[in-house]
């Protein structure tokens, strides 16, 4: 597995990288990859989302092929786009969503923030609001898109939408919840550390052996990799 930190990158440029990686992972030309990044301010909406959840008519929204409804991305929010081969990890999309929630919950816990799931909804919450949004797309059982964890963003843009299609949904951040405000780089470092271990624990891969199938016991993670070409 590769981990690449792309820094602040335009949504469309990051989407193009995901598209390329999805094709390469599906064909076996590239390893599974976790992209960590921030976006300049942008509103996106899932393929089945309702534009009625965009409350300000002046907002321009980018429609994507992920699930979920409308959300906002911007500086101070850590976005993770894992390009993961679910074809060899059980082909269970719901289990994968729970994995992304568990990852977000454990990362928040690293900074002293108690986050939790809400039954029937996707994402994680604290008592003060939604802390992370999750939405994925799958092509040939290779997953793209992922999670957006609010570290220390401006939360005002969320007031111009029904976040994730939920009217009156409060939104919070680690900066509001933690005793000491973390940086995006600090949170990204914890994600990079926890992600491969949880992936092995919660979504083990199956590989062919001469005697049948067995579950992989570990991943080798390439850290400190140079940023991917964004052209």
Catalytic residue positions, numbered: 164
Nearest to 154 by CA among 63, 31, 22, 38: 38
**Residue 219 class from Cβ within 10 Å (0-12 exposed, 13-18 middle, 19+ buried)?**
middle
Cα 93 to Cα 82, 124, 137, 139, distances in angstroms: 13, 17, 9, 12
């Amino acid at each position: 597995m590769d981990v690449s930190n792309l820094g602040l990158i335009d949504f469309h440029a990051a989407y193009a990288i995901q598209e390329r990686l999805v094709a390469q992972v599906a064909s076996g030309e590239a390893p599974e990859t976790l992209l960590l990044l921030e976006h300049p301010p942008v509103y996106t909406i899932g393929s089945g989302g309702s534009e009625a959840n965009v409350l300000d008519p002046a907002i321009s929204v980018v429609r994507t092929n992920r699930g979920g409804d409308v959300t906002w991305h911007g500086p101070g929010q850590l976005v993770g786009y894992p390009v993961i081969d679910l074809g060899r990890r059980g082909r269970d999309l719901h289990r994968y969503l729970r994995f992304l929630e568990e990852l977000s919950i454990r990362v928040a816990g690293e900074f002293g923030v108690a986050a939790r799931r809400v039954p029937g909804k996707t994402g994680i919450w604290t008592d003060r609001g939604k802390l992370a949004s999750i939405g994925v797309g799958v092509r040939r059982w290779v997953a793209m898109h992922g999670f957006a964890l609010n570290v220390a963003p401006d939360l005002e843009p969320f007031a111009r939408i029904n976040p994730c299609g939920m009217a009156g949904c409060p939104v919070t951040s680690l900066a509001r919840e933690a005793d000491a405000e973390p940086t995006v780089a600090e949170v990204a470092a914890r994600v990079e550390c926890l992600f491969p271990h949880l992936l092995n624990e919660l979504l083990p891969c199956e590989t062919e052996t001469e005697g049948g199938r067995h579950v992989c016991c570990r991943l080798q993670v390439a850290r400190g990799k140079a940023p991917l070409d964004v052209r």
